[in-house]
Amino acid sequence: MLTAYLPPPNLGLTLIHVDTDIIVVDKPSGLLSVPGRGEGMDDCLASRVQARFPDALIAHRLDMSTSGLLVLARGAEMHRRLSRFFRERQIDKRYLAVVAGLMADDRGEVELPLICDWPNRPRQKVDFEIGKPSLTRFRVISRDPVANTTRVELEPVTGRSHQLRVHLASLGHPILGDDLYGGEATALADRLLLHAMDLGLFHPATEAPVQFHSDAPF
């Protein structure tokens, strides 16, 4: 559970795309996607967007600590269509992360089943008996031998909670700034160095493919 929620100041939305059917926004790190449980946790990306676009409905989420692209539907029908695309994995997502250590392989896959670690929630854990199938593809962008870090592109084929964070930590390369799975890497950055940089989807009104990009702020 969160012990203190200190969302970033509301300095206005970073809008990537707006039309009559969808809104694509760049979420800052430290902001919840939807309201949290408990007092003082109402401030979130969804409420900030709805203050300007009352018909906006959130169709997916990013972890509070993760920054980057998030798409909202405008109205119930567009939300139904967009939610179906996510449910049927017809959304192409790419993330950028900086991880501890020098990854040996230039590309590869991590396929480890995940389940909530209930006594330690919101942590997730690998569980080969009851975990849900989870697949992440990765591609190394660059390695920094001096800092002993690797810049890596991540594709979550499935969309489990904390999937990228747990999968990278399971490889021995936790994401810098990860306060749940980072270990010593937690102190190597002042935020989680994970950013949703590319989002490809079928437009829910026209079903034409559309692509959006956001440069990582790190």
Q: Are 49 and 72 in contact (CB under 8 A)?
A: yes
Give the integer Cα–Cα distance in Å for 176 and 166.
Answer: 12
User: What's the start-to-end Cα distance of the chain, in Å?
Assistant: 27
Comparing CA positions, the residue from 105, 97, 92, 98 lying closest to residue 157 is 92
Residue 153: exposure state from Cβ atoms within 10 A (0-12, 13-18, ≥19): middle
Give the integer Cα–Cα distance in Å for 172 and 23.
Answer: 37
Q: State yes or no: is 63 an active-site residue.
A: yes
Q: Choosing from 19, 26, 43, 63, which is the catalytic residue?
A: 63
- Could you give the residue numbers annotated as active site? 63
